[in-house]
Amino acid sequence: MKNKLYLVFLCLSVFCQTSLKAQNTHSDNGINIFCNPLIFADVPDMSMLRVGDTYYMSSTTMHMSPGVPIMKSKDIVNWKLVNYAYGILDDVDEMNLDHGKSTYGKGSWASCLRYHNGTYYVSTFAQTTNKTYIYTTKDIEKGPWKVSSFTPAYHDHTIFFDDDNRIYMIYGTGKLRIVELKDDLSGVKEGTEQVLIENASAPSGPVGLPAEGSQLFKIKGKYYLFNITWPRGGMRTVIVHRADKITGPYEGKVALQDKGVAQGGLIDTPEGNWYAYLFRDFGSVGRIPYLVPVKWEEGWPILGVEGKVPETLNLPVSKGLIPGIIESDEFDRKKGDPVLPLVWQWNHNPDNKFWSVTQRKGYLRLTTGRIDNTFLEARNTLTQRTFGPKCTGSTSIDVSKMKEGDFAGLSLLQKKYGLVGVKLENGAKSIVMVNAESGIPVEIQRVPLLQKNVYLKAECDFTDRSDIAHFFYSLDNKSWIPIGKQLKMEYLLAHFMGYRFGLFNYATKETGGYVDFDWFRIDAGLKTQL
């Protein structure tokens, strides 16, 4: 019997390893299996809660607008974007890409999602403004949201409503602190700040990254504080502290050290099963979520199976990320449709005067409103996530109304970006591929363009962290021609985000030119033969 069970486990393991290279979950040949990762796309710093039979999750998108995405699931596996906590974080030069300033890799960081007495709370913080923000709503899916903000920015905090209705915030790195908030959430109560844990990293030994990413839970009268740390020479590690009182004293231990899967918290199902939601650095696609089973022993949460992150779990099969997290867009809008589906986010705050989906029916129009020198300075780049293990994004663009010096097209956005698009220089249009993998944008190839419509494509391969992208163009949407050279993608902390597809148009000489995108289509896998 043991040999049979071992063979079943071995088969499932091989199945999921193959699945990870093809698609992270499968329903194939009659086999329904959930396979980690939960979401093979950049969804870091998750905070999760359950209200009745419905799960909600928030995440980090930093400099993107709108920000702090809210996702919903009925089975903890299949997620759909349902809202954002804010449209813009703040109206400042850094968020607006104004006056040579930006907030790449900053903006709003790790959020905390809570539900208390019929109200949903999302709190976050921003180095950009040195503020802590708390958003509240009665309807997490439709809003509206109210916001209160105060200084300073409390790093990687967890907000917590205790049974006596007092509101606390735990924050910091290494040395963790606790402070009590005012009842109206307008700031902290003076004189309440104190050190909670002198060295929260201690259970993991000498560290390079001190303990951070606090998330606090109260279960059966005890307080459990989750943190991430990174021991020197080791990997990202989950640390859990517990106490009988919120103010301590706390005792801590290493809860998980496998594959670098760490940072997150606890969630239970209506049936009483427990999981940890955590993420893993996975190269240029970003930080991808995992689910890890939890059992309880002597009042401690025990993560994983014999200390390891399992590849399979007894959970529903995933239906894929399309259209819940990622989605194609034909830019056709019917009455009552949102102007932009929630899968889209702008790179920094948009200037709403210079984009439209109504000026030409069935098209996204991007109009230049100022002069920019480089792609990363350009405003109104519309983005959505890439995803693994392989994906393709393509678009159709009408470039007939460009002006001298304009550059418009399809991007893979990170600091070391790649572009394929159309430039208008000296009165002539060319299809151009730009590669910035060296840290400096270099034009690799250009091809004359003698028609007003062109089709552009980018393909990404994240299999085994190969992190390779190729660009293509077509004149008829049938025959695709490679252009430039492959882009070696690299996840850099300067942007702190997985690569994103982007639609862009910016001016280098004069303003007022525009391009019309007919559609953007996204697919799993690679679609073009090199």
Buried b (16+ CB within 10 A) or exposed e, 186-199: eebeeeeeeebbee
Determine the Cα–Cα distance for residues 285 and 283; give it in Å rounded to an integer: 6
pLDDT band at 29 (very low <50, low <70, confident <90, very high): very low
What's residue 527's pLDDT? 85
Backbone angles phi, psi at 284, to 5 degrees: -75, -15
Say which residues have a Cβ less than 8 Å from residue 416's Cβ, sequence separation at least 6: 436, 437, 438, 439, 487, 488, 489, 490, 492
What's residue 346's pLDDT? 98
The domain made up of 345-524 has a fold known as Jelly Rolls (2.60.120)
Please check the confidence at residue 24 and state whether its pLDDT lies above 50: no
What's residue 87's pLDDT? 98
Place of tokens 């999750």: 57
Domain with CATH 2.115.10.20 in the chain: 41-313
Burial class (CB in 10 A: 0-12, 13-18, 19+), 320: middle
Q: What is the pLDDT of residues 244-300, one digit of tens each?
A: 999 999 999 999 999 999 999 999 999 999 999 999 999 999 999 999 999 999 999
CB 263 within 8 A of CB 274: no
Determine the Cα–Cα distance for residues 483 and 445; give it in Å rounded to an integer: 7
- Full strand arrangement of the beta sheet holding 119-126: 112-116, 119-126, 131-137, 146-150
Cis peptide before 338 (omega within 30 of 0): no
Residue 33 tokens read as: 């299996």
Q: What is the pLDDT of residues 457-474, one digit of tens each?
A: 999 999 999 999 999 999
Helix (H, G, I), strand (E, B) or coil at 164: coil
Please check the confidence at residue 17 and state whether its pLDDT lies above 60: no
Residue 128 tokens read as: 């950009």
Q: What is the pLDDT of residues 42-59, one digit of tens each?
A: 999 999 999 999 999 999
Architecture of domain 41-313: 5 Propeller (2.115)
Long-range contacts of 18-22 (CB under 8 A, 24+ apart): 20/311, 20/389, 21/389, 21/463, 21/464, 22/389
CB 65 within 8 A of CB 87: yes
- The mean per-residue pLDDT over the stretch 117-134 comes to 97
Determine the Cα–Cα distance for residues 90 and 259; give it in Å rounded to an integer: 37
Cis peptide before 37 (omega within 30 of 0): yes
Whether this model's pTM surpasses 0.85:
yes
Residue 111 tokens read as: 């959020």
What's residue 20's pLDDT? 56
Mean pLDDT of the chain: 94
Please check the confidence at residue 363 and state whether its pLDDT lies above 60: yes
Domain with CATH 2.60.120.200 in the chain: 345-524
Burial class (CB in 10 A: 0-12, 13-18, 19+), 300: middle
